[in-house]
A and B are shown apart, each in its own frame.
Chain A
């Protein structure tokens, strides 16, 4: 558990370079427990990279990333795996194990943690009902629509009751109604006390969210992050 008063995820003067060029520079962000953040910016600005830095999938080339109070560089590979059990991640290009049914995919974080009984328990049914997939439990991932895949990914991200949910363009492949439904689910999670960070370039989604929850909006511009103004 992180120290009181600190963020669950903190980036301090972080830079990230790839292929000889600097993609992110001097980034300082603190996600306080229970906060709701949007991360916006044009395509290619580095939103996905920043998200990956937030769960240890990438290491910064400069600066410090602290996950639950520990510098990510001090974490062993298995420690990173443990951190990911406390951070639910939803990617735009949702990845599943295509040979396993949807229910097993959603329960995968429990399975890899050795919590097999819970993976087959009633909570899984409740969770699938929450995301509206209780009739699709036995379907294989390739049989799902884009919206169903996003909801399944969200269910998988929260099944371990993580402290943080990171979502990368969660509404990128779905229609407006489905994006509102997904947003509602993420707002519900935030009301349960989860820290939420959504990377999106969809400003209408941000406006819709601000009507439901107190959210801060961070904008990536010229490799740096700044707090967006009230124009959003």
Chain B
């Protein structure tokens, strides 16, 4: 028996007579529905995590790639002069959109979490910070060379050192989400195969009667395949609805969501989990077809 267009058409259109020849199996049917639903629910979360990780990786990458910081480490009497020189260099550097030296108050605020608000900044050798916003064409290596020649106390930090591992982690998390979704679908296939094998074994006498009266293997298999495909489809659809509601109810992080508060779907991303029932049904169809084909070859 093989999966072909005729069989698919018969599967979709249904045959109430063929459906009746295999006795209904109440409890096992409910278990299949429940298992398919639970798997789909988990798949929705795996997809939500994956898509959120992808968004986070992109956002972190974009935000950090567009900023850089310049530190002016110089004796107190030269700090203002070198700051002005650095700003002059920056204004003529391609790819630098804005460059702004932080005020004493802003620098004190940055240090406040560690040293408190009463910090006498003017008595400490705190370097002056210059905040830079960059765009395409920004060349940190070229800028470093210019600064070394014109502003010896300037140190450029383009954030690449700690940006790369963060983005890599988020991307790895996204890949793990997709792998989890794939494993969940594989588990659906295993579960349906086990259930179909059990149903075929339990109905060995029914199969013997059907063969005696001239039923082909594809006819017999179709009765089981259609049943398990529909169970997987219905169970998964219910699981996806439950999963989407749960994701929708999760708290958000406002304008700047983090990893945990950002789990969810955005825009067209809401359509991705709607594929789960269809994939689940396709997996069940293939798994039952293979299981039935194998079982009918061995059942005499």
- Listed in ascending order, the chain A residues whose CB lies under 8 Å from chain B are 57, 77-78, 81-82, 84-85, 89, 91, 95-100, 104, 108-109, 111-113, 116, 119, 156, 160
Contact = CB atoms under 8 A, between A and B. Distances in A.
B208 A112 contact: no
B53 to A, nearest CB: 50
24 contacts: A57-B212, A77-B216, A78-B217, A78-B218, A81-B211, A82-B214, A84-B212, A89-B212, A95-B208, A96-B209, A97-B23, A97-B209, A100-B21, A104-B20, A108-B21, A108-B209, A108-B213, A109-B213, A111-B21, A112-B18, A112-B21, A113-B214, A119-B17, A156-B213
B212 A112 contact: no
Interface string B168-187: 00000000000000000000
Nearest to A89: B212
A108 B220 CA distance: 13
Contacts of B17: 111, 116, 119
Interface residues of B, number: 21
Given A97-B206, A97-B209, A99-B23, A112 B217 contact: no
B217 A77 contact: yes
A112 B213 contact: yes
Contacts of B88: none
Contact of A112 (B24, B214, B300): B214
Contact of A109 (B18, B24, B214, B300): B214
Nearest to A162: B214
Contacts of B206: 97
A89 B208 CA distance: 12
A57 B299 CA distance: 11
Contacts of A85: 213-214
Contacts of A112: 18, 21, 210, 213-216, 219
